[in-house]
């Protein structure tokens, strides 16, 4: 898009981005206030293509939720349960191993596993779980636990300093941390949607510690509930700040709040619109200049809109996932899984070049024909 066609207030931001300059919080608020969605997409595209060219990636992964029993009761969460609840579940290690074995047969490279803050599972249970999965295939990447779970494991289960807990988990097979639990960092919002949950600083400190140990992780934003645009910018600023410090985040994955299935107060909230989904992705892409990747999470936004997002700053469509519980228990109507064919077709149709990636967003190779037939043909809270 030619800058002259943009709203006047967007032109200086466009110029800054083209010159490789960082935008300010005020610029981000100007972008959020704009209705010129195509201009936002065009500006975001400058960053997206500078960093990733025309390639758009996806991952062959499987989600597993080992348990939904949780000591907290975040108001926005439809996933968690108390032990006495009818919808409470806890998987046994052999069951998780079997599910993983099958998924490996379908070509996955990553298990993505989160649960609630379980009150009684022992430290040894978590270690044995990781070891058992790693024993199936040493190359399988285990992306597990939100920062909130990691904090819980350290403080209440392992009863060890965070770094030592993370070191033990890594020794057992932990490959990277998931990004879930960030929600919106502003404490006033946390007090209303997830009272009692760890603070923004605690979330960031887990990632900081993990990054300093040489680990990598993703990070998230749960938007489209009661937060203001200024609170979204505050959230992005804190992520950008930590990334300046550690360079440990591989990608940013925002997802919209799903009101169905949450508390009565939150259920009244209007679901996020397609406009806001694309605007939020575009602004995030422009603001997070020190992040290499921005992912469109098809589980919450649907693959059709995630495909459109490839023109609004997004360079990654996440993964096959295969079984998602957290958003679907909250009322998401999207499918449970995507096939490689569906992801590749969506990317190609949008004019991008599909590439399979690993858990750290490294491109592996186009695998469409190499993937077993069942994967090609049939097709966390959220700890993404
Ligand atoms: S969002 Fe996570 S910590 Fe909060 S209630 Fe749900 S499972 Fe528990």
Q: Per-residue pLDDT tens for 29-54?
A: 999 999 999 999 999 999 999 999 99
3-state secondary structure of 111: strand
Q: What pTM was computed for the model?
A: 0.94
Cα of 116 vs centre of ligand 1, distance in Å, is 6
Q: Check pocket membership of 326 for ligand 1, CB cut-off 6 A.
A: no
Which residue minimizes the CA distance to atom 2 of ligand 1? Answer: 381
- Mean pLDDT to the nearest integer, 278-302: 97
Output the pLDDT for position 319.
94
- Across 339-355, b (16+ Cβ under 10 Å) vs e yields bbebbbebbeebebebb
Residue 189, Cβ neighbours under 10 Å: how many?
20
Atom of ligand 1 nearest to the CA of 146: 2
Output the pLDDT for position 376.
40
Report the alpha-carbon distance of residue 332 to residue 326 in Å, rounded: 9
- Owner of token pair 């995030």: 284
Q: Check pocket membership of 81 for ligand 1, CB cut-off 6 A.
A: no
Cα of 127 vs centre of ligand 1, distance in Å, is 21
pLDDT at 291 over 90: yes
Output the pLDDT for position 261.
74
Highest mean pLDDT among 264-268, 273-277, 374-378: 273-277
Cα of 381 vs centre of ligand 1, distance in Å, is 5
Atom of ligand 1 nearest to the CA of 76: 1
Atom of ligand 1 nearest to the CA of 116: 7
Domain 40-377, CATH number (from 3.50.40.10, 3.20.20.70, 3.20.20.140, 3.90.1640.30):
3.20.20.70
Q: C-alpha distances in angstroms, 269 versus 233, 256, 264, 273, 329?
A: 21, 12, 10, 12, 17
User: Which of the listed residues 69, 257, 381, 383 should we mutate to test ligand 1's pocket, taking the one with most ligand atoms within 8 A of CB?
Assistant: 381
Q: Check pocket membership of 80 for ligand 1, CB cut-off 6 A.
A: yes
User: Which of the listed residues 90, 148, 384 should we mutate to test ligand 1's pocket, taking the one with most ligand atoms within 8 A of CB?
Assistant: 148
User: Domain map of the chain by residue range?
Assistant: 40-377
Q: Per-residue pLDDT tens for 157-208?
A: 999 999 999 999 999 999 999 999 999 999 999 999 999 999 999 999 999 9
Cα of 237 vs centre of ligand 1, distance in Å, is 24
Contact 239, 286 (CB under 8 A): no
Q: Check pocket membership of 382 for ligand 1, CB cut-off 6 A.
A: no
Q: Per-residue pLDDT tens for 233-256?
A: 999 999 999 999 999 999 999 999
């Amino acid at each position: 898009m030619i800058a002259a066609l943009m709203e006047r207030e967007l032109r200086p931001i466009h110029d800054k981005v083209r010159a490789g300059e960082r935008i300010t919080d005020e610029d981000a608020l100007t972008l959020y206030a704009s209705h010129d969605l195509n201009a936002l997409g065009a500006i975001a595209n400058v960053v997206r293509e500078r960093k990733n060219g025309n390639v758009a990636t996806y991952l062959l992964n499987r989600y597993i939720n080992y348990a939904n029993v949780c000591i907290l009761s975040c108001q926005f969460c439809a996933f968690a349960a108390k032990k006495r609840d009818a919808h409470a579940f806890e998987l046994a290690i052999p069951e998780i191993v079997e599910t993983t074995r099958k998924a490996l047969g379908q070509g996955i490279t990553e298990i993505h596993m989160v649960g609630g803050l379980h009150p009684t599972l022992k430290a040894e249970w978590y270690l044995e779980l990781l070891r058992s999965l790693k024993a199936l295939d040493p190359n399988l990447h285990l992306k597990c636990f939100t920062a909130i779970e990691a904090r819980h494991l350290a403080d209440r289960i392992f009863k060890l300093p965070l770094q030592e807990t993370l070191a033990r988990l890594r020794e057992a097979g932990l490959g990277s941390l998931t990004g879930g639990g960030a929600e919106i960092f502003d404490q006033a919002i946390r007090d209303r949607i997830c009272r009692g949950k760890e603070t923004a600083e605690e979330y960031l400190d887990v990632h900081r510690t993990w990054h300093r140990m040489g680990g990598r992780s993703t990070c998230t934003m749960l938007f489209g509930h009661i937060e203001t645009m200024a609170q979204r910018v505050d959230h992005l600023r804190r992520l950008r700040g930590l990334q300046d410090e550690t360079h440990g985040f591989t990608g940013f994955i925002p997802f919209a709040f799903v009101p169905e299935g949450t508390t009565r107060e939150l259920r009244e909230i209007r679901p996020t619109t397609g406009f806001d989904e694309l605007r939020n992705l575009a602004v995030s892409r422009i603001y997070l200049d020190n992040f290499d990747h921005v992912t469109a999470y098809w589980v919450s936004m649907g693959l059709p809109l995630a495909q459109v997002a490839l023109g609004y700053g997004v360079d990654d469509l996440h993964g096959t996932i295969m079984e998602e519980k957290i958003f679907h228990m909250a009322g998401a109507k999207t499918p449970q899984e995507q096939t490689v064919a569906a992801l590749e077709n969506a990317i190609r149709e949008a004019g991008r070049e599909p590439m399979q990636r690993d858990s750290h967003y490294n491109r592996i190779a186009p695998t469409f024909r190499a993937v077993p037939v069942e994967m090609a043909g049939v097709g966390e809270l959220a700890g993404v």
